[in-house]
Amino acid sequence: MKTSRAGLIRLAGLSALIGGACYVFVGVFHPANAVASVTTTRWAIVHVVACAMSFFVLLGLAGIYARQAVKSGWLGLVGYVLLSLWLVLIMGFSFVEAFILPHVANATPALVDGWMKMFNGGTSKIDLGVLPTLWTLTGPIYILGGLLFGIATFRAGVLPRGAAVLLALGTVLAPLAAPLSLSAQPKIAIPTGLAIAWLGYALMTERQEAATPVTDLPVPAPA
């Protein structure tokens, strides 16, 4: 049984395409980060999709980086590591929002209120420990990671440069969400989702010159 490098790259591209589509879905349909939203069906669906988004983009990003690792240099490596770290952190927050908050909203409203104030500002009545600090760190990690990875992808010239520009701009524009309404803030992430889906599609449909075996598992001889 042989698994080729080209085959793995295409699978990574498909993963990035799915993850990017999930990213756009979350940006379009994400409800306002408000206590009243937590018990709605829309909240549950969006945050389950957000968990899937983190998973698929994490896999896809590995393939995108591997395809251009040599040409993207240290800039690409740093951007890849930062974006991957951001995805891992976001997956944890999304998991809590999808599977925990809706079930404790009525029993412990102070927890939900404190969770929302972590996003929107204000003084919480409950101690969330290190979580507010982690959430604050996700912003700079996301912006710097997306900017560096976008620049590295543009300079490498292996994948579409338009997608690289969109990725860099999409992440840098994140602070512009602050003055927007709570319902409009998630939509600022849509360009980043489109960029990831674009990169994934390009990776998936790219023609490889040769299929280099990565794994060669011996097949037992018949008895």
Judge whether 217 lies within some domain: no
With cut-offs at 50, 70 and 90, classify the pLDDT of residue 143. very high
Judge whether 128 lies within some domain: yes
Looking at residue 163, what is its pLDDT? 97
Judge whether 214 lies within some domain: no
For tokens 């018990």, the residue is 39
Looking at residue 49, what is its pLDDT? 97
DSSP assignment of 94-162 equals: HHHHHHTHHHHTTT-HHHHHHHHHHHH-S--SS--TTHHHHHHHHHHHHHHHHHHHHHHHHHH-SS-HH
Max CA distance (Å), the chain: 72
Judge whether 76 lies within some domain: yes
Domain of residue 132 covers 2-206
Residues 72-117: tens digit of each pLDDT: 999 999 999 999 999 999 999 999 999 999 999 988 889 999 999 9
Query: What's the domain count of the chain?
Result: 1
With cut-offs at 50, 70 and 90, classify the pLDDT of residue 121. confident
Judge whether 139 lies within some domain: yes
Judge whether 120 lies within some domain: yes
CA distance 127 to 66: 41
Judge whether 92 lies within some domain: yes
CA distance 44 to 46: 6
pLDDT over 60 at 210, yes or no: no
Please give the average per-residue pLDDT across 4-32, as a whole number.
93
Judge whether 222 lies within some domain: no
Torsion of the alpha carbons at 217, 11, 50 and 127, rounded to the nearest 10: 40
Torsion of the alpha carbons at 176, 180, 184 and 189, rounded to the nearest 10: 10
Backbone angles phi, psi at 121, to 5 degrees: 90, 165
